[in-house]
Amino acid sequence: MALALRKRGPSKFQQAADGSMTLMEHVRDLRNRLFRASLAIVVGFGVGIWLADRVRELLSKPYCDLPQAIDPESGVCKFVQLGVADVFLLNLKIGLWVGLIIAAPVWLYQLWAFIAPGLHKHERRYAYVFTSLAAPLFAAGAVLAFFVTTKGLEFLLNISGPDIATTLEVTRYISFVTNLILLFGVAFEFPLIVLMLNFVGIASAKRLLSWWRVAVFVFFAFSAVVTPTPDPFGMTALAICLCALYFAAVGVAFINDRRRGRGKEIYAGVDDDEVSPLDTTPEPVEAGARVEASDPIDAPEPITAPTPIERRYDDMT
Give the chain as a 3 state SS string: CCCCCCCCCCCHHHHHHHCCCCHHHHHHHHHHHHHHHHHHHHHHHHHHHHHHHHHHHHHHHHHHCCHHHECCCCCCECCECCCCCHHHHHHHHHHHHHHHHHCHHHHHHHHHHHHHHHCCHHHHHHHHHHHHHHHHHHHHHHHHHHHHHHHHHHHHHHCCCCCCCCCCEHHHHHHHHHHHHHHHHHHCCHHHHHHHHHHCCCCCHHHHHHCHHHHHHHHHHHHHHHCCCCCHHHHHHHHHHHHHHHHHHHHHHHHHHHHHCCCCHHHCCCCCCCCCCCCCCCCCCCCCCCCCCCCCCCCCCCCCCCCCCCCCCCCCC
Least confident of 125-129, 145-149, 279-283: 279-283
Alpha helices by DSSP H, listed for 261-302, are none
Least confident of 13-17, 86-90, 131-135: 13-17
Residues 186-232: tens digit of each pLDDT: 888 888 888 888 877 777 888 888 888 888 898 888 888 877 666 67
Q: How many CB atoms sit inside 10 A of residue 111's CB?
A: 13
The answer to whether residue 301 scores a pLDDT higher than 70 is no
Looking at residue 2, its pLDDT comes to 43
Looking at residue 1, its pLDDT comes to 41
Mean pLDDT along residues 272-282: 65
Looking at residue 273, its pLDDT comes to 59
66 closest CA partner among 175, 173, 226:
173
Mean pLDDT over all residues of the chain?
A: 76
Give percent of the chain above pLDDT 70: 72
Looking at residue 179, its pLDDT comes to 85
Least confident of 123-127, 192-196, 251-255, 303-307: 303-307
Residues 50-64: tens digit of each pLDDT: 988 888 888 888 888
